[in-house]
Amino acid sequence: MIIEKNVFLKEYTSYKTGGMAKYFAVCYNNDDVRQALDFAHSNNLDYEVIGGGSNLLISDGGYNGLIICTAKLNRYIINYGNNIIKCGAGISLADLVYYTCSHGFSGMESMAGIPGSTGGAVKMNAGAYNQEIKDTNIKAALMDKNGRIVIKTNEEIGYGYRLSSGTNDCIVLWAEFLYGRKTSEELLNIRKEILEKRKEKQPLHKPSCGSVFKRPAGNYAGTLIEKCGLKGCRIGGAEVSIKHANFILNEDNASSSDIYNLILHIQNTVYDKTGIKLEPEVRMIGFKK
């Protein structure tokens, strides 16, 4: 494993914004992850873990510590032949969904089109159209901050809405899933329909992080943002999508500050007009709390 210095992070996020990481490590296997953690501890560095970078906003000032990138980590899919699949954290969720559909494994077909890695999907309990990672995930291997590997069951992972409390301060190494069975033709058709629906309803032509805000209880973030007249609202090069109000687009060479300030403006406006405080789904690194 190689520790690089002064790496621009905008190349590792779907927003295509963000400053430099003081140190940066791409991990390909479990030993790489352990070595990266050892480097952080021995040099008294803070560290953050990123996967596919699709649900991430990194400040223009970058990160004055170590970024551990798991987008290449354990890139394998193992089919045990009994409806159980073991998938490494670095496999994209899109590839896992395609694999399961094409092999007749049901339970993930509605998650077609969700970006990011399988490890990130476990961390945030990714989901769409009434399917979530928690529905099929039976266990996962995690590495804690001291480099110890722990296997946790679905219940121990502590899944909730867009979170997994049992993975806090841990790095996902791999996960196992138990699926139902349908014909591959049926599942691939559902996958195709979901992808077409996303293309129709979501702005996929410009860089974004997907949905910016979590769904508030009994409502939808996009609906609230639209009702507050914020579609098309712009700060710098960042713009609230006309097509889907819960998307902020890097419309014209936006900075992370543009996007961040637009997030704050949306939160404040929606709260002032509705009394509902929208909670960001996008993870932010390098911003003052």
Give the per-residue pLDDT at 1: 83
Instruction: List pLDDT tens digits, range 136-168.
Output: 999 999 999 999 999 999 999 999 999 999 999
Among 100, 60, 82, which Cα is nearest to 190's? 100
- pLDDT above 90: percentage of residues in the chain: 98
Q: Considering the candidates 211, 241, 255, 256, report the single residue annotated as catalytic.
A: 211
Whether pLDDT at 289 is above 90: no
Alpha-carbon distances of 263 from 114, 191, 211, 283, rounded to whole Å? 21, 31, 12, 12
SS3 232: coil
Give the per-residue pLDDT at 242: 97
- 201: its two tokens: 């309803």
Q: 42 catalytic, yes or no?
A: no
- pLDDT above 70: percentage of residues in the chain: 100
Alpha-carbon distances of 145 from 138, 165, 187, 225, rounded to whole Å? 23, 15, 39, 38
Residue with more model confidence, 1 or 117? 117
What span, in angstroms and rounded, lies between the C-alpha atoms of 229 and 134? Answer: 35
Tell me the domains of the chain and their CATH numbers.
3-69 (3.30.43.10), 77-200 (3.30.465.10), 221-285 (3.90.78.10)
Average pLDDT over residues 61-65: 97
Instruction: List pLDDT tens digits, range 98-135.
Output: 999 999 999 999 999 999 999 999 999 999 999 999 99
- Identify the bridge partners of residue 67 per DSSP, sorted by sequence position: 24, 48
Q: 281 catalytic, yes or no?
A: yes
Q: Considering the candidates 132, 176, 239, 281, report the single residue annotated as catalytic.
A: 281
Among 4, 143, 144, which Cα is nearest to 67's? 4
Among 247, 252, 205, which Cα is nearest to 225's? 247
- 130: its two tokens: 């009434």
Whether pLDDT at 288 is above 90: no
Q: Considering the candidates 48, 75, 156, 162, report the single residue annotated as catalytic.
A: 162
Q: Classify 44 in phi/psi space as left (phi over 0), alpha (psi -120 to 50) or beta.
A: left
Q: 211 catalytic, yes or no?
A: yes
